[in-house]
């Protein structure tokens, strides 16, 4: 049985304001209302240094200052168990393999459907609940 997503705190990381807007709309439609945003990996890293109020990171791969993969590397050194979802236009098998090697927990290719996001987020949220 899927858990309610209402209490999940999500950090969205994407340099594209339109992509952030779409992701926020999709998450809100799933009942997630605690949504924080960052415009790149460095901003996300700074945000995480100021708070531990995040249960899930959803991040784009290609961004200035610090890519999603670079952020993931940093996250794994400080928060080894933080659920991390990569959302990217890089859908080729090599990109997926690289992301998995770096410890990504879920991978969603753009464009995505709300149903795809719900399935991935619910699976991650269920893992969080079992770990608690």
Q: Which H or E run includes 25?
A: helix 17-29
In a domain? residue 38? no
pLDDT digits (tens, 9 = 90+) for 4-56: 678 889 999 999 999 999 999 999 998 999 999 999 999 999 999 887 689 99
* Residue 10 near residue 55, CB atoms below 8 Å: yes
For residue 128, pLDDT over 60 is answered with yes
Q: Measured between alpha carbons, how far is residue 94 from residues 91, 101, 104 in Å?
A: 8, 11, 14
> Whole-prediction pTM value?
0.91
SS3 state at 119: helix
In a domain? residue 126? no
In a domain? residue 124? no
pLDDT digits (tens, 9 = 90+) for 47-90: 998 876 899 999 999 999 899 999 999 999 988 989 999 998 87
CA-derived radius of gyration, the chain: 13
CA dihedral for 69, 74, 75, 77, sign (positive or negative): positive
CATH of the domain at 71: 3.40.50.2300
Provide the domain count of the chain: 1
In a domain? residue 5? no
């Amino acid at each position: 049985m899927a858990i309610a997503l209402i209490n999940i705190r999500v950090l969205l990381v994407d340099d594209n304001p339109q992509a952030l807007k779409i992701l926020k709309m999709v998450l809100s439609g799933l009942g997630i209302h605690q949504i924080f945003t960052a415009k790149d990996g460095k901003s996300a890293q700074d945000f995480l240094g100021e708070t531990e109020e995040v249960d899930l990171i959803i991040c784009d791969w290609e961004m200035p200052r610090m890519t999603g993969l670079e952020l993931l590397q940093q996250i794994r050194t400080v928060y080894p168990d933080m659920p991390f979802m990569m959302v990217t236009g890089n859908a080729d098998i090599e990109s997926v393999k690289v992301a998995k090697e770096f410890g990504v927990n879920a991978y969603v290719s753009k464009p995505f459907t709300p149903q795809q996001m719900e399935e991935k987020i619910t699976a991650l949220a269920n893992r969080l609940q079992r770990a608690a």
